[in-house]
Chain A
Amino acid sequence: MAAVKGASAKVFGLKDNKSILPYLLLIPGLLWLALFFIVPIFSLGQMSTKVAGAQTGEFVQGYRFANYVDAFNASTEQFLRSFLYGILATIIALAIAYPLAYAIAFKSGRFKNILLVLVVAPFFVSFLLRTIAWKQILGEEGPVVSVLRTLHLISDTTSITSSAFAVVTGLAYNFLPFMTLPLYASLERIDPRTLEAAGDLYANGFTTFRKVTVPLSMPGVVAGTLLTFIPAAGDYINATILGSPSNKMLGNVIEARFFKIVDYPAAAALSFTLMAAILVLVTIYIRKAGTEELL
């Protein structure tokens, strides 16, 4: 037995073959990342500084960094709108998901698992279909408009599809499970005795929530908001299906540049700009969330 172990260690050229196991386990993931993330990022980066060649659809490397400035200047409005919509959708999703996750974690009793399945249930339908369904719900014949009209909250001629409202609520709706599940996970982990302890130490229900529950659920809030904001800011399907031309987001611009105008360098430059902007914003956010003040 010892001899076999010694032999295998020699084959790997290591003293203890236990130490290479973690690296072996990393290989599939690393390969996947290299193939489908690092390589495309590189080719996208190269594309972003190319210039148009002799024929349509042919681009040659010109190291033209002005591509970034041009593309950004041409779509500043959509760029800012992406962030605004993303932030609004994240806030709405948080406002809906927090009470929902709280109820599932603390008050649902034996219905806990059923409710969790219901939270994930929309994922059984494709993203596209869900967005189209949302259009039906908000549409002229849908329940939302008829209720609002009956209550005279909107006039008989006002429509709520093809609007910023439809796009933002669509985003919030589509990414709600991404917000709910991490929130649930962090709320569920809270030891109920710490909440009892707060009550025992003169904190009423609201103070306990503010001083103990919320701070202890911050990891879930951070994870949930990131999982919602990042895809929402880069999304173009909601704006395409639920919005009007005046609700276009950066995703729509990138899509048009790639597939309609066939301006690959500009599309690549915008993709990079969006990625960088999200990265900066997220970094600032995580740093803030990590400090006591935000709690």
Chain B
Amino acid sequence: MAVDASTSARGDLILKNLTKSYGEFNAVDDLSLVIPKGSFFALLGPSGCGKTTTLRMVAGLEEPTSGSIFVGETEITDMKPYRRPVNTVFQNYALFPHLTIYENIAFGLRRRGISEAEVKTAVDKVLNLIELPQLASRKPNQLSGGQQQRIAVARAIVNRPALLLLDEPLGALDLKLRRQMQIELKWIQTEIGITFVHVTHDQEEAMTMADTIAVMNKGKIEQMGTPEELYDSPKTSFVANFLGQSNLIPGEVSGNDGDNLIVDLFGTKVAVPKARSSALGKSVLVGIRPEKFRIAAEGKSTHGNVLTGGVVSDVSYIGVSTQYQVEMPSGKELMVFEQNDDDEEMLRKGAKVVLSWEPTFTFALDGSENVSAGSH
């Protein structure tokens, strides 16, 4: 079999109104998305949000109920998996246990009838890229988890697909190795310039590697953007809570001073940049990331937005920072992360405190959002 014309399709990955239903349940619900060629794209969401189903439809392992999938100009919706210009790094790697590492990597090349000499060149090259040339004659079960992971990546990228799909590729590795592999995967992607579509439930992993993240929930995309955009200006409470942590405080818009909305939070007026508000009406949820708060003992001088009358209800010291739980007069519990970078004394449980923060660090969601959606 010569190299199939269809496998040479190149370009952006385009999903149009993609839906996958199981009976009444829509695992993926009318999803439309353009993933630019050459990008590192992450589909992030909790388990059951439809991210893996989306990936499997792109790979051809799952048939869409409706909608279509394109790579550049070529429609691949009904194409058999083995005809698609797509390769996958499977969760738990799915290496062929009966074949050597060399033969595992050569598998895709051989199916396309590439000459023995070219197979050898390509396999050697990719083994050098992942820095494991000495493992060529081993069997998969003789390798460590991290090595198997890299072989799984090598087995896929050696085929130079238009698109590399990664299904929770680092889930089986321990934390330290995971960090290392995140950097390595990002480096490989930059090196070979193939579009990577990475499915994960780990927000830190997505933020470390991806240029663009789509946060998925209940078969739909909640929000899409760069890691910075999603973290600084979440548009829904799900994104605000799933990507990092957020304090969401209900309030009423009472006016504006040009660039800022003035919001009344239980009687205290705070400023929120208009650019970072996605509120539709007067009722809003004011969002402040826990590390943006400054915490000080009552009576100390403060600036910016200020909330008074808090009482420390819990303290946990975790080395780089101290995490405080602060109960406000309204009964609302707020989370505060304070860097341990000064010699200020740690506040004790029961201490009366005042919280303040820079108005630019505030975002606002529409008041109809569910405060606890997407919480860990």
Using CB atoms and an 8 Å cutoff, list the residues of chain A in contact with chain B.
191, 193-194, 196-204, 207, 211-212, 215-216, 218, 295
Contact = CB atoms under 8 A, between A and B. Distances in A.
Contacts of B7: 202
Given A215-B98, A295-B98, A197 B111 contact: no
A138 B275 CA distance: 87
B172 interface: no
Contacts of A198: 96, 107
Contacts of A202: 4, 7, 82-83, 108, 111-112, 159
B98 A200 contact: no
Contact of A201 (B4, B87, B98): B87
Interface string B95-121: 111100000000110011000000000
A204 B97 contact: no
Interface string B79-93: 011110011101110
A291 to B, nearest CB: 12
B82 A199 contact: yes
Contacts of B82: 199-204
A216 B139 CA distance: 13
Contacts of B81: 196, 199-200
A212 B59 contact: no
A204 B98 CA distance: 19
Query: Ordered nearest first, which 9 A-B pairs have the shortest CB separation?
Result: A201-B108, A202-B111, A193-B94, A197-B94, A199-B81, A215-B98, A202-B82, A200-B88, A194-B94
Contacts of B92: 191, 193
16 contacts: A191-B94, A194-B94, A196-B81, A197-B88, A197-B95, A197-B96, A200-B82, A200-B86, A202-B108, A202-B112, A204-B80, A211-B107, A212-B98, A216-B97, A216-B98, A295-B98
A1 to B, nearest CB: 37
B20 interface: no
Contacts of A207: 111
A203 B98 contact: no
A194 B87 contact: no
Given A200-B87, A203-B107, A203-B111, A212 B94 contact: no
A207 B80 CA distance: 14
Nearest to B61: A196
Given A204-B82, A207-B111, A199 B61 contact: yes
B155 interface: yes
Nearest to B83: A202
A193 B91 CA distance: 9
Contacts of A211: 107
Contacts of A196: 61, 81, 88, 90, 94
Nearest to A216: B98
A216 to B, nearest CB: 6
A3 to B, nearest CB: 42
A12 B111 CA distance: 62
Nearest to A203: B111
Contacts of B80: 199, 204
Contacts of A200: 59-61, 81-82, 86-88, 90, 156
Contacts of B156: 200-201
A160 B7 CA distance: 55
Contacts of A212: 96, 98
A59 B90 CA distance: 70
A193 B83 CA distance: 18
A193 B111 contact: no
A267 B96 CA distance: 49
Contact of A194 (B60, B86, B96): B96
Contacts of A295: 98
Nearest to B105: A201
A218 B98 CA distance: 10
Nearest to B91: A193
A211 B159 CA distance: 18
A202 B92 CA distance: 20
B113 to A, nearest CB: 10
A212 B316 CA distance: 53
Nearest to A215: B98
A190 to B, nearest CB: 9
A194 B8 CA distance: 24
A201 B155 CA distance: 9
Interface in B48-101: 59-61, 80-83, 86-88, 90-92, 94-98
Given A204-B82, A207-B111, 6 more contacts: A194-B94, A197-B96, A200-B82, A200-B88, A203-B107, A203-B111
